[in-house]
Structure 1
Amino acid sequence: MDAFISGFLTSLSLILAIGAQNAFVLRQGIKKEFVFLVCIICAMSDAILIVAGVGGFGYMTQKFSYLESVARYGGGAFLFVYGIKSFYSAYKMTHALKPQSFATASLTKTALLTLAFTWLNPHVYLDTVMLIGSVSTKFGTNANIFGAGAVSASFVFFFSLGYGARLLAPFFEKAVAWKILEFIVGVIMLALAFMLIFSV
């Protein structure tokens, strides 16, 4: 159960970071257009990448034991930088979503845009394949349970974001709301970084 919860929280903290994909899902939710399609594409894409990361890292670390240390310290460094960037964004940058600026798109275009936001984003590979894959090695024979938790987090997050967006729309029109979210993400990222680097 600890492995499942750890996987769930690790994946959730990574997905929470503000990016083009999440902003797109939020926009679709606010517009109430093809919400299920967008959410299922994002969640299934994450699931494929997480399974590849967990399975691949487990196999690779059995053959090359030093990869676990490389992944652990590399992943920790990446999380640290990610956390600092979130703090910087919370302090310096402004985010706001204005529903009136959204244009209507067809189902096909929406699906293609969702795929592009997911698969053409280099961060998704770092987050799912590399980072979640590297953290999963800490759980040994429970790595698959960790992966299941991570996959579950993707489904919960994307469908909550997509269908809950209409409730969040007034809140996220204010730049301060994005700043608060960025700050929380930064704290989580730094905590994960120290856990990954300094845990035995």
Structure 2
Amino acid sequence: MFQAIMQGILLSFGLILPLGVQNVFVFNQGVTQPRFIRALPVIITASLCDTALISLAILGVSVIILAIPTIKAILFLVGILFLAYMGFVTWKSKASRSTTQDAALSPKRQITFAASVSLLNPHAILDTIGVIGTSSISYSGMEKIAFALACILVSWIWFFSLALVGRQVGRLDKSGRFIMFLNKVSSIIMWGTAVYLITQLI
């Protein structure tokens, strides 16, 4: 049981740690929202999406879906178009301190964008299936449940912590320059991910 929990924590942390589209978006909202509680929609949505992906990977459902070439191709195309669009919008967004309220998305847009960057990123989905889904095969019964819960718990703690750190950074950024820099970095990461997905699709 202990081995399953530790492996779940280490694998999940290893997957979620790299600077990707989802992490940047959650951190960005932590920075731009006027209060931490206003960032809860993005935190909860990202966590729930990860919970769903991890559960599907462990149950083996996602492997069956992605085994169908047409569905996989559609997922990649939608992901590429969405990331390209999000990168453009983020690059163009104003980020001066006087426009922080504009940069802070409404709860509805937070939920929509968080779900999109979580579920329309084939790279992240394939990583979850390949690492967590494959590793879960060696467990059964309560050990498999413990493994799944450990992976899911890491996601929830990570997104709450990420937004909280973003909030602290946002409070220190009086000029708004960091937000502007973060938007540019976010855009480059999104476009880079889109290009990577194109190479995988080809």
TM-score w.r.t. structure 1 length?
Answer: 0.59
The answer for unaligned runs of 5 or more in structure 2 is: 65-93, 186-202
Give the equivalent residue in structure 2 for 1:193.
none
User: 1:62-105: per-residue Cα shift (whole Å, max 9, x none)?
Assistant: xxxxxxxxxxxxxxxxxxxxxxxxxxxxxxxxxxxx96386233
> Structure 1 residues 104 and 140, CA, compared in 2 at 3 Å: closer, same or farther?
closer
> Structure 1 residues 163 and 99, CA, compared in 2 at 3 Å: closer, same or farther?
farther
Matched positions, count: 137
Kept after mapping to 1: 8 A contact 2:49/2:118: yes
TM-score w.r.t. structure 2 length?
Answer: 0.59
Aligned counterparts of 2:45 and 2:152: Cα–Cα separation in 1: 13
Give the equivalent residue in structure 2 for 1:139.
139
Match of 1:56 among 60, 82, 86: 60
Give the equivalent residue in structure 2 for 1:164.
165
- Give the 3-state SS of the residue equivalent to 1:144 in structure 2: helix
Kept after mapping to 1: 8 A contact 2:11/2:131: no
User: 1:12-39: per-residue Cα shift (whole Å, max 9, x none)?
Assistant: 1111111111111001001126311101
Q: RMSD of the TM alignment (CA)?
A: 3.0
Amino acid aligned to 1:6: Q
Aligned counterparts of 2:60 and 2:134: Cα–Cα separation in 1: 10
Give the equivalent residue in structure 1 for 2:193.
none
Aligned counterparts of 1:44 and 1:105: Cα–Cα separation in 2: 19
Give the equivalent residue in structure 2 for 1:67.
none
User: Between the two proteins, what is the percent identity of the paired residues?
Assistant: 29
Aligned counterparts of 1:163 and 1:133: Cα–Cα separation in 2: 29
Aligned counterparts of 2:146 and 2:161: Cα–Cα separation in 1: 22
Matches within 5 A, 1:35-50: 35-50=39-54
Kept after mapping to 2: 8 A contact 1:30/1:99: no
Kept after mapping to 1: 8 A contact 2:58/2:148: yes
